[in-house]
Amino acid sequence: MKIRIKLFAAARELSDTGEIGLEVADGILVKDMKQQISNAYPSMSELILRSAVSLNREFATDQSVVQENDEIALIPPVSGG
Amino acid sequence: MKIRIKLFAAARELSDTGEIGLEVADGILVKDMKQQISNAYPSMSELILRSAVSLNREFATDQSVVQENDEIALIPPVSGG
Amino acid sequence: MIFITTKAIDTSKVLESVKSKQAGASVLFVGTTRQFTGEKETVQLEYECYEAMAVEKIQQLVDSVQSKWNIEHCSVVHRIGVVGLGESSIAVAVSSGHRQESFEAAAWLVDELKIQVPIWKKEFWADGKTEWVHPSGTPKPTSQDLNSAHGGS
Amino acid sequence: MIFITTKAIDTSKVLESVKSKQAGASVLFVGTTRQFTGEKETVQLEYECYEAMAVEKIQQLVDSVQSKWNIEHCSVVHRIGVVGLGESSIAVAVSSGHRQESFEAAAWLVDELKIQVPIWKKEFWADGKTEWVHPSGTPKPTSQDLNSAHGGS
């Protein structure tokens, strides 16, 4: 399936884009999706190790299943406030 | 010696005055001064038991010595804020 | 900024007074007249103070805050006289490099102010009765008091 | 009141938004751009956020505050974009019947916001370098997240 992943902060700057598209296996787990992003964008690989993923604006676990049409984002360690 | 004692809040209302004068022994202790105020103003006696005394704008102990020209006040339990 | 006033407190000025480029955090506490205490309804409060001593005691508390925590600035304003429902009787502002200091210092200062500073609150209840609020504890001399007996700075 | 803005935060409006006759206490926390972090000098900060998720996460934190403490109102405003020295990036206000709840709830909310809400800060150092601040911890799903997975309310 085709997914789109929002990127923010350092991830956005390292990839030079606010959103990337990726072709992934149906029912892919978050941890495998992260690995696939790392492979496609090596400049982000170190940051991805320290980043979370959100699905539909909630934090997911490594074992969460990514579904088609999910709103997906890579969430580097946050620093608001 | 002759002393003057400032009264506030319920003490002021119970005695109907903001300051009282009292003739006391030289070098009187705070606890004895409190007793003497109680005797002279029985309406305040219950409140005096729960009140502190300040000498020159600092809290005194029962054993503190009252000196002539001290700025003396009876301090009922406070409730600022 | 430390003062006692009969006028309405401008809480934004109190907050402004602790601003600093060295501060990453400011905490402002505002105490206001609450309508209900359990079932009992308040229509207004009236505060009275022993002003000369109150200002000195507040200054001592601010000095203590400065020595206990790494803070930038600390301001305390207390209103006396009648304070209507929802109006502010006290504003305390603290600024510091990091937020924990400001939170701790502001909370500590308000706690201590309610124990050590000669200010008294009179409740005007909705049933027409009035009552000076005299908590059960007696104000106690602190070690600071004992050290500076007859000091009065 | 919960919102994210690119404009300067009017902290007095944030405080005003939690006022209530049922509240005896209000606590306002303001986070500002600090000039020095140790020896390093900041000239400005820039904040970025994932706005849809940030607003939802802040709302969840406010809901948690309402369920954990007996408070009246809670407001959170976060500024994004460039925030100059001494300017405010965040204002959190909480009101409650008694002061302890407001202090605890405000401190907790700021702590959690810094862990759970997708907002990022970029330092602009005086030496011309810039740096996204990415604390060492990875944002972790909370039990709330797990319960409401794919919820997104």
Q: For the segment C107-135, what is each residue's pLDDT rounded down to a tens digit?
A: 999 999 999 999 999 999 999 999 999 88
Pairing between β-strand B72-75 and β-strand B52-55 as defined by DSSP bridges: antiparallel
List all residues 6 or more positions away from A3 whose beta carbon is below 8 Å from its beta carbon.
A21, A22, A24, A33, A66, A68, A70, A72
Mutate to test the interface with A, among D134, D144, D148 (most CBs of A within 10 A): D134
- The tokens describing D85, both together, are 């020295």
Does C142 score more than 90 pLDDT?
A: no
Interatomic CA distance for residues B24 and C62, integer angstroms: 36
Is the CB of residue C97 less than 8 Å away from at least one CB of chain D? Answer: yes
Q: Do C120 and B78 touch (CB under 8 A)?
A: yes
**Mean pLDDT to the nearest integer, C97-101:** 97
Residue D137: its pLDDT value, please?
62
Q: Quick one: how far is CA C15 from the chain centroid?
A: 14
Nearest in space to C94 (alpha carbons), one of C117, C71, C114, C113? C71
| Residue in this structure with the two tokens 């997906």, named with its chain if needed | A72
Is the CB of residue B7 less than 8 Å away from at least one CB of chain C? Answer: no
Considering CB atoms only, which of B47, B55, B78 is closest to C118? B78
Interatomic CA distance for residues C106 and C26, integer angstroms: 10
Q: Are A53 and A73 within 8 A, CB to CB?
A: yes
Task: Show the 3-state SS of D61-119.
Answer: HHHHHHHHCCEEEEEEEEECEEEECCCEEEEEEEEECCHHHHHHHHHHHHHHHHHHCCE
> What is the complex's ipTM, to 2 decimals?
0.93
**CA angle (C126 as vertex; C79, B45 as ends), nearest 5:** 70
Q: Which of residues 23-52 of A touch D (CB under 8 A)?
A: 47, 50-52
Q: For the segment A7-29, what is each residue's pLDDT rounded down to a tens digit?
A: 999 999 999 999 999 999 999 99
Q: Which residue has the higher pLDDT, A47 or D149?
A: A47
Does C99 score more than 70 pLDDT?
A: yes
Is the CB of residue B76 less than 8 Å away from at least one CB of chain C? Answer: yes
Q: For the segment D95-129, what is each residue's pLDDT rounded down to a tens digit?
A: 999 999 999 999 999 999 999 999 999 999 999 99
Q: For the segment B18-30, what is each residue's pLDDT rounded down to a tens digit?
A: 999 999 999 999 9
Q: Do C106 and D103 touch (CB under 8 A)?
A: yes
Mutate to test the interface with A, among D77, D130, D145, D146 (most CBs of A within 10 A): D145
> For residue D47, which residues of chain A lie inside 8 Å, CB to CB?
80
Neighbours of chain A (3+ CB pairs under 8 A): D
DSSP string covering A4-58: EEE--HHHHHHHTSSEEEEE--TT-BHHHHHHHHHHH-GGGHHHHHT-EEEETTE
Q: Are C53 and C116 within 8 A, CB to CB?
A: no
Residue C140: its pLDDT value, please?
57
How would you list the strands of the sheet with A72-75, edge to edge? A19-23, A2-6, A72-75, A52-55, A58-59
Does D142 score more than 90 pLDDT?
A: no
Mutate to test the interface with A, among D45, D48, D112 (most CBs of A within 10 A): D48
Does C60 score more than 90 pLDDT?
A: yes
By percentage, how much of chain A surpasses pLDDT 90? 100
Interatomic CA distance for residues C2 and C23, integer angstroms: 19
> For residue D19, which residues of chain C lie inside 8 Å, CB to CB?
32, 86
DSSP β-bridge partners for residue D88: D32
Is the CB of residue C34 less than 8 Å away from at least one CB of chain D? Answer: yes
Interatomic CA distance for residues A18 and D51, integer angstroms: 13
Residue C134: its pLDDT value, please?
82
DSSP β-bridge partners for residue D140: none
Q: For the segment D55-84, what is each residue's pLDDT rounded down to a tens digit?
A: 999 999 999 999 999 999 999 999 999 999
Neighbours of chain D (3+ CB pairs under 8 A): A, C
CB neighbour class for C136 (10 Å; exposed up to 12, middle 13-18, buried from 19): exposed
Does A3 score more than 90 pLDDT?
A: yes
Neighbours of C115 (CB within 10 A): 17
Is the CB of residue C1 less than 8 Å away from at least one CB of chain D? Answer: no
Considering CB atoms only, which of D56, D119, D146 is closest to A78? D119
